[in-house]
Amino acid sequence: MMAPNKSWLGWLGSTLLAALRDQGALLLLVAAPIIYSFFYPWPYSTQTLQRVPVAIVDLDHSNLSRQISRFARASPRLQLRLVSGDEAEVQALMARREIEGYLVLPAQLKRDVVRGQGVVLPVLANGAYFLTNKVVLSGFGEVLGTVSAGVELKQLQARGQPPLQAAQSRSPLNVQLLPLYNLNEGYGSYVVPAVAVLIIQQLLLIGTALWVGTWFEKPRTDKSADSLWAWSARTTAFALFGLLSAGWFFGLMFPFLGYAHGGNPWGTALLLLPFCWGIAALGVALGALFADRERAMQALLCTSLPIAFLAGFSWPRESLPTALQGLGEAIPAVVGIQAFVRLNQMGAPLEAVACYGWALLAQALGFSLLAAWALHRRRKSASPNSN
């Protein structure tokens, strides 16, 4: 077997330079991670949804109903646009999406409350938008809970209990909720760390396949350039781009954006090695199979959304069909999201994510074998002696 004309480091360096000179590869491997790191979290910068427009249908017109309206105006979750006695008017506003929900205060509300009768106050919200629906329901729930507590305290005090005893009688057990990991309970802190792993995969995968497809579009005379020795260096070069993207997201952008980070940095760095190698090897395999720059990009662009649904952050993986759960086990980003969120955001020890680490290592080995087969198949088809 003839020795390669270049050293392994020579192939590594030449691949890095060639990728940086390729405008498409440069955009996907270097520029796009930076752009996505600012662009994707931007819509979630406020973290929690507040001041959702709502209305109240007041059919009681009592001081109790007016008190409920005042508490609704003071709620940080709600923006009370209208208090009306005409429910049809409020429904028309909701149909035009000028409000996202409304509360109905029925006639004789105060009379029934004074008599000690239970009263059900309906809250209607737009269920088509689950975030606004949740805020409307929880916002009105907090308002009614506060007013109801005040009414109960007054009733207990009217029966002769002092204020402190009345407060203890109404609420003998108090609950204190302390969120972990996502301290501000924001949507951005939840979704961006998971999606970042998918962004790293897709950009690295498409960029690698695009560059490799371009490589096979051009005729080659140097056989050593197509050796597995050379391609292992090229795969390493692409994996380095993935490591840089991950370092940018995990090490710089998450602290900048205020997301939980750095829980287990050494465990995260260790699992990033098989993660990025596996993606790079899969990109080499797909690029060799397509052997076409545009075809590789066209085939891979449409895979991002299905992978997002398989990943388990928009919908629990346990609720997916068994076949789809099995399919997700073969995708680096799906396994990586489960591992890196636990390591980076939750500070889990390596033992807690060992199964994901072994899965990423198995993917890296499997995709490396797939890349070797795809390269051999491409060399064989390009050989002048082949049929």
* Per-residue pLDDT tens listing for the chain (387 residues): 344 467 888 888 988 999 999 998 999 999 999 999 999 888 887 777 888 999 999 998 888 889 989 999 999 889 999 999 899 999 999 999 999 999 999 888 888 887 777 788 899 998 888 888 889 998 998 888 888 877 666 665 666 667 666 555 555 666 777 778 877 777 888 889 999 999 999 999 999 999 998 888 777 666 667 788 889 999 999 999 999 999 999 999 999 988 888 889 999 999 999 999 999 999 999 999 988 888 878 888 888 889 988 988 888 888 889 999 899 899 999 999 999 999 998 889 999 999 999 999 999 999 999 999 999 888 877 665 544
Bridge partner list, 84 = 57
Q: What is the pLDDT of residue 368?
A: 96
Assigned superfamily of 52-170: abc type-2 transporter like domain (3.40.1710.10)
Q: Are 107 and 45 in contact (CB under 8 A)?
A: no
Pairing of strands 101-105, 52-58: parallel
Please classify residue 325 by burial: count the beta carbons closer than 10 Å to its beta carbon, then call 0-12 exposed, 13-18 middle and 19+ buried: middle
Long-range pairs, 251-257, Cβ under 8 A, ≥24: 253/37, 253/38, 253/41, 253/196, 254/193, 254/196, 254/344, 257/41, 257/188, 257/192
Is 379 in contact with 220 (CB distance < 8 Å)? no
Q: What is the pLDDT of residue 387?
A: 42
Res 173: pLDDT: 63
The whole-angstrom separation of Cα 93 and Cα 117 is: 32
Instruction: List, in order, residues 6 or more apart from 245 with CB less than 8 Å away.
Output: 29, 33, 199, 200, 203, 204
Residue type, 9: L
What 3-state class would DSSP assign to 56? Answer: strand
Ramachandran region of residue 6, left (φ > 0), alpha (ψ -120 to 50) or beta? beta
How far apart (Å, rounded) are the C-alpha atoms in residues 247 and 272?
10
3-state secondary structure of 1: coil
Lookup: tokens for 29: 């491997």
HEC string for 152-211: HHHHHHHCCCCHHHHHHHHCCCCCCCCCCCCCCCCHHHHHHHHHHHHHHHHHHHHHHHHH
With 0-12 / 13-18 / 19 or more C-beta atoms within 10 angstroms meaning exposed / middle / buried, residue 41 is buried
Measured in degrees and rounded to the nearest 5, phi and psi for residue 155 equal -65, -40
How many CA atoms within 13 Å lie on the side-chain side of 250?
26
Residue 277, Cβ density class (10 Å: 0-12 exposed, 13-18 middle, ≥19 buried): buried
Determine the 3-state secondary structure of 116 from DSSP: coil
Tokens of 41: 């979290």
Q: Where are the beta strands (DSSP E) in 69-122?
A: 78-84, 101-105
pLDDT at 3: 43
**Single-letter amino acid code for the residue at 274:** P
Residue whose pair of structure tokens reads 């960029």 in the numeric block: 207
pLDDT value of position 361: 96
Domain coordinates of the chain in residue numbers? Answer: 8-44+184-382, 52-170
- 10 Å CB burial of residue 55 (0-12, 13-18, 19+) is buried
